[in-house]
Amino acid sequence: MEQTSVRRKWANWKFISFVVILIAIFVKFYVLDEHDENAAVTVELDLPQVALRSQQEVAAVLGKGKLESYYRDEKAGCERCPRASYRDGKIEIIYINEIADQIRLNKLSDYAFENRIILGLLNLSENIAPNVDEEGVKTWDNYQKYTQISAFSKDGHVDYILIKSKTE
pLDDT value for 73 = 83
Residue 8 has pLDDT above 90, yes or no: no
CA–CA distance, 60 with 105 (Å, rounded to integer): 18
Q: pLDDT band for position 19 (50/70/90)? A: confident
pLDDT in tens, 23-72: 888 887 777 665 555 555 688 899 999 999 999 999 999 999 999 999 88
pLDDT the model gives residue 118: 92
What confidence tens digit (pLDDT) does each residue in 105-164 have? 999 999 989 898 999 999 998 888 999 999 899 999 999 899 999 999 988 899 999 999
* pLDDT, position 29: 78
User: Can you give the pLDDT at residue 42?
Assistant: 80
Starting at the edge strand found earlier in the chain, the sheet holding 99-105 runs 66-73, 78-86, 91-96, 99-105, 157-164, 146-154, 137-143, 132-134
Look at residues 104, 116, 120, 84 and name the one whose alpha carbon lies nearest to residue 159. Answer: 104
The values of phi and psi at residue 73, to 5°, are -150, 110
Interval 76-82 mean pLDDT: 86
Residue 37 is predicted with a pLDDT of 57
* pLDDT(1) > 60: no
**pLDDT score at 35:** 55
Please report the pLDDT score of residue 13 as a whole number.
Answer: 84
What is residue 150's predicted lDDT score, i.e. its pLDDT?
Answer: 96
Over range 87-99, report the average pLDDT.
93
The Cβ of residue 91 has, within 10 Å, a number of other Cβ atoms equal to 22
70 φ, ψ (degrees, to nearest 5): -115, 140
Distance of CA 79 to the CA centre of its chain: 32
